[in-house]
Amino acid sequence: MDGSVLFFQFSGKAVSSRWRLHYSIPMAVPSLSTVLTNANFTMYQNGMTDLLTHITSPVPEQQYERISPFCWTRDDVLEWISENMEGTNFDARSINLAWSLDGPSLCRMSQADIMRLFGPQLGHHLYQNLLKHKAKPEFQSLPESDMNENLCELLDNFLFGLNSEMRFPLLSTITLGQQNEGPSVKKEEFCDNDFDLRLGLEQLTTLSDTVYYSENSDSELSSSSNSCVFSGLRTPESTSGESDWESYPSNKQIKTEMKDEEYCQRRPRGRPPKGSRDHNRSFTTPKKSKHAPRGSHLWEFIRDILVHPEKNPGLLKWEDRREGVFKFLKSEAVAQMWGQRKKNSSMTYEKLSRAMRYYYKRNILERVDGRRLVYKFGRNASGWRLSEVSPVM
DNA sequence: TAGGAATTTCCTGATT
DNA sequence: GAATCAGGAAATTCCT
């Protein structure tokens, strides 16, 4: 599971939990079962849903489409960019610039910012598309009064049910936004390499310090059960018309601002980069991904880009579809995307290609001699053949 | 808890 | 000379 931050967004308020579950409560309050069903569906986005999607939906809806742009992760943003790049001459290398952009940051960007980053044509298109997403009725906020203790408690119970079978902490394990106190999170759960979680918690910390919603009409929310305390989430609407992209704390800043003991004590997977073999240093570097979730190996990542041309913005192409021969068109961009997937910003094509070469031994890939950037799926690779790929409706 | 799997990182040398 | 390829070695986390 891709642990990140859970933002249930309620009229600009957020509840956070350590695992990733982004969902906006629909406007007309909803039956809780609907909320939880959808939340559950979303939560399994990297696991069972992949499987279910393949089985039940020939044209899987993009994950980000079910989520308010304010809650998009970096993956969602990249996915959205990819979807909107079709038919444009957008240079995929720009992903290098945009890879760390998450939903809240994106939403804070002005049209000019977006056009500066993506160029006038694509930038305009993206901005317009973003407005559409933001305007979706299902992403409009609930009246605050609709979000009460009971719902919070029900959510907690729901999480408790999940927790009995899976190791997901309850909202109860995280206490955020206590007045006059910083967020209190069980350390062993907090230090779990969940960078996005830290980001979310840090945001909540900062916000609970600055925009704490305990006064006046919000008191009911913020003082509700100890299970979850709502702290304010600045929405783009609440900011000035100017983009505060610059002022928004960067990931790096957030990392730097974290206290050492709040940071993860684990090393990142893989050999530490040279110059960071000193434990103190390497341990305070908030990397990153752990073991890849099942079904998300590198070769599968590559395969999925190839078999879903609509998701392939000119990064890879088939050289010989029947033989499984393919070529990297934008090798570094693919590496960046893989790094994005693994939450490893230092991924390069050189490293990626080393991992690819390991597949030769396992017959997942075969060598294609004399051709640069060209690989071929081997007999142990599955899911790439036309006969294995379900037709897209 | 040990061992294996799957990378990740670094390195050197060869090739294009 | 830069980019890429090839593969050994070491290191790490996660899974069984």
pLDDT digits (tens, 9 = 90+) for A109-133: 888 878 777 777 777 778 888 888 8
> Which of the residue ranges A22-26, A281-285, A318-322 has the most confident prediction, judged by mean pLDDT?
A318-322
- Which nucleotide is nearest, taking the CA of residue A350 and each C1'? C4
Amino acid A390: pLDDT: 61
Question: pLDDT higher for A342 or A213?
Answer: A342
A269 sits within 7 Å of strand C by its CB: yes
For helices A120-135 and A111-118, angle between their N-to-C axes, nearest 10 degrees = 140
Summarised one tens digit per residue, pLDDT across range A273-293 is: 665 433 333 333 333 333 444
pLDDT band at A55; cut points 50, 70, 90: very low
Backbone φ and ψ for A13, nearest 5 degrees, come out as: -105, 155
Chain B footprint positions (protein CB, under 7 Å): 5-11, 16
> Which of the residue ranges A50-54, A256-260, A372-376 has the most confident prediction, judged by mean pLDDT?
A372-376
State the Cα–Cα distance between residues A192 and A198, nearest whole angstrom. Answer: 9
Single out the residue of A182, A326, A147, A324 nearest to residue A259, CA to CA: A182
Q: Is the pLDDT of residue A357 over 50?
A: yes
A284 sits within 7 Å of strand C by its CB: no
Single out the residue of A6, A35, A59 nearest to residue A233, CA to CA: A6
Amino acid A63: pLDDT: 63
Summarised one tens digit per residue, pLDDT across range A57-109 is: 333 455 677 677 777 776 677 767 766 664 444 544 445 455 567 777 788 88
State the Cα–Cα distance between residues A230 and A361, nearest whole angstrom. Answer: 52
State the Cα–Cα distance between residues A204 and A184, nearest whole angstrom. Answer: 11
Find the mean pLDDT for residues A170-193: 32
A357 sits within 7 Å of strand C by its CB: yes
Single out the residue of A67, A22, A7 nearest to residue A200, CA to CA: A7
Find the mean pLDDT for residues A263-277: 53
A16 token code pair? 């956070």
Single out the residue of A218, A207, A205, A219 nearest to residue A176, CA to CA: A205
- Mean residue pLDDT of chain A comes to 53
Q: Is the pLDDT of residue A329 over 60?
A: yes
CA A49 / C1′ C9 distance in Å? 38
Sign of CA pseudo-dihedral A27, A31, A32, A34: negative
Chain C footprint positions (protein CB, under 7 Å): 4-15
Q: Is the pLDDT of residue A356 over 80?
A: yes
CA A178 / C1′ B4 distance in Å? 45
Find the mean pLDDT for residues A303-314: 77
- Which nucleotide is nearest, taking the CA of residue A297 and each C1'? B6
Single out the residue of A2, A7, A5 nearest to residue A235, CA to CA: A7
- SS3 for chain A is CCCCCEEEEECCEEECCCCCEEEECCCCCCCHHHHHHHHHHHHHHHCHHHHHHHHHCCCCCCHHHHCCHHHCCHHHHHHHHHHHHCCCCCCHHHHHHHCCCCHHHHHHCCHHHHHHHHCHHHHHHHHHHHHHHHHCHHHCCCCHHHCCHHHHHHHHHHHHHHHHHCCCCCHHHEECCCCCCCCEECHHHHCCCCHHHHHHHHHHHHHHHHCCCCCHHHHHHHCCCCCCCCEECCCHHHCCCCCCCCCCCCHHHHHHHCCHHHCCCCCCCCCCCCCCCCHHHHHHCCCCCCCCCCCCCHHHHHHHHHHCHHHCCCCEEEEECCCCEEEECCHHHHHHHHHHHCCCCCCCHHHHHHHHHHHHHCCCEECCCCCCCEEEECCCCCCCCCCCCCCCC
State the Cα–Cα distance between residues A288 and A302, nearest whole angstrom. Answer: 21
A215 sits within 7 Å of strand C by its CB: no
State the Cα–Cα distance between residues A361 and A155, nearest whole angstrom. Answer: 47
User: Which positions 296-315 on chain A have a beta carbon less than 7 angstroms from any atom of strand B?
Assistant: 297-299
Instruction: Give the whole-number percent of chain A exceeding pLDDT 70.
Output: 35
A336 sits within 7 Å of strand B by its CB: no
State the Cα–Cα distance between residues A296 and A26, nearest whole angstrom. Answer: 31
